[in-house]
């Protein structure tokens, strides 16, 4: 979710300091970064070995992509679908982290 809206946030920060950048249609950026996140979860399957993670990633990506192509009159439905897709992606990342931790492959800070 941070990566998807990171582009928009970056442009907003640039606008605040006086650099104007326009994004006429940001859906391709959101879909692109959501796809990168889903592909990352899919390629990390060897580490977490959880089908639920893969299912959450694919469900989240599907919801995000479909929400971007709904009719403008369905804006509330689109926002709800997109939010649900991001929640699926976040859940998939948390589940992947917990599974890697259980398998002994999670990053740990040494003290």
User: CB–CB of 53/92 below 8 Å?
Assistant: yes
pLDDT tens profile 99-108: 888 887 766 6
What is this structure's pTM?
0.71
DSSP states of 26-64: -HHHHHHHHHHHHHHHHHTHHHH--HHHHHHHHHHHHHH
Per-residue model confidence (pLDDT) at position 8: 61
pLDDT tens profile 41-94: 898 888 888 899 999 999 999 999 998 888 788 888 888 998 899 899 989 989
Residue-range domain boundaries for the chain:
25-103
Exposure of 52 in the CB half-sphere (CA atoms within 13 A)? 10
Whole-number Å distance between alpha carbons of 38 and 4:
12
Whole-number Å distance between alpha carbons of 65 and 88:
13
């Amino acid at each position: 979710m941070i990566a998807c809206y990171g582009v928009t946030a970056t442009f907003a920060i640039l606008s605040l300091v006086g650099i104007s950048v326009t994004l006429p249609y940001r859906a391709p950026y959101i879909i692109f970064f959501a796809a990168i996140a889903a592909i990352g979860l899919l390629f990390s399957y060897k580490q977490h070995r959880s089908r639920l993670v893969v299912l959450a990633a694919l469900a989240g990506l599907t919801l995000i992509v479909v929400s971007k192509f709904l009719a403008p009159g369905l804006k509330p439905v689109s926002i709800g679908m997109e939010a649900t897709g991001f929640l699926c992606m976040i859940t998939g990342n948390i589940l992947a982290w917990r599974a890697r931790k259980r398998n002994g492959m999670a990053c740990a800070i040494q003290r």
